[in-house]
Structure 1
Amino acid sequence: MKTTRLAAVAIIANLAFATGTLAQDKELGEAVTIELNAVKSNEGGCTLTFLVANGHASQIEKVVYETVLFDSAGQVDRLTLFDFGTLPPGRPRVRQFSVPGIACDALSQVLINGAHTCEAPDLTDGACETGLILKTRTKIEVTG
């Protein structure tokens, strides 16, 4: 029980630090930031944890990014869609995606290929892609 509480405190502290980092990132401006924050092997696959922030003045109702995963040899492993859901302005969100059939250490790169869906009625066209800021806190490269 005590170990679980300590683990929970450590996770919250890490997310608070990461959230503070994104909130203090004044060059965010009118853009979406996607950070690959953590990866964790699970039974038969890999869970990717992203910290995402909407720097626009209005909410993004729904955003789905077409994402390409590359293996350690630099070859495309798969093309998939990651649904980041609703992104309120100025409030970071954590999103997790479990990818079956690949180990985390077998991933070398995540490519955000573009917005498959971007529902943001109060924002300009391309709000989910224009100025997209990509970061990583892992050994996996994130590009777009």
Structure 2
Amino acid sequence: MKNARYIYGSFAAAVALSTAAIPAFAEDPAPPRSLFLELNAAQASEKGCRFTFMVTNGLDGDISGAAFELALFDAEGVVDRLAVLEFRDMPAGKTKVSRFDLAGVECGKISRILINTTTACAGEGIGAADCMRGIRTSTRTGIAFGV
């Protein structure tokens, strides 16, 4: 009988130890907060090339203004130019469309656009690092777009 108590006690201790590391319930991690930028269109304009972006602010607060330095690459993969685009008033949870005309740029000669850095990002509790860290991208054009 003494051995039976020992075995039962050892078994109970082993079960307790093995389940101690398992949480009572599993939680999915919260989805990452992000600033979603989609290159929606690139069209020839009188000035050069008009880029249309769809932007969704999924961060925790309103953004009063943000600016991104973009590197535009030609068909050979060589940087053609750097440009800073300024986006204004991006309320949290809102999607908006912004257009930018870049003078002297031929849309058909751009193969890739890289978000090089965030030069400004202002909002309550939001800084440039938050905007850059939270960027997610996509494109609906033939131009590669990303970070």
TM-score, length basis structure 1: 0.76
Alignment partner for residue 89 of structure 1, among 80, 88, 92? 92
- 1:35 is aligned to 38
**Matched-pair identity in %:** 34
Q: Which runs of 5 or more structure 1 residues have no equivalent in the other structure?
A: 1-26
Distance in 1 between residues matched to 2:105 and 2:126, nearest whole Å: 37
What SS does the corresponding residue of 1:127 show, helix, strand or coil?
helix
Shift of 1:131: 2.8
Shift of 1:79: 0.6
Of structures 1 and 2, the larger Rg is shown by 2
- 2:80 is aligned to 77
Alignment size in residue pairs: 118
Alignment of 1:46 with 2:49, yes or no, is yes
Instruction: Please provide the CA RMSD for this pair.
Output: 1.7
Runs (4+) of structure 1 moved beyond 6 Å? none
Q: Which runs of 5 or more structure 2 residues have no equivalent in the other structure?
A: 1-29
Shift of 1:85: 1.3
- 1:134 is aligned to 137
**C-alpha spacing 1:51/1:28, structure 2 compared with 1 (3 Å):** farther
**C-alpha spacing 1:62/1:104, structure 2 compared with 1 (3 Å):** same
Shift of 1:50: 0.2
Shift of 1:44: 4.4
* Contact 2:43 2:50 survives alignment (8 Å): yes
**C-alpha spacing 1:58/1:115, structure 2 compared with 1 (3 Å):** same
TM-score, length basis structure 2: 0.75
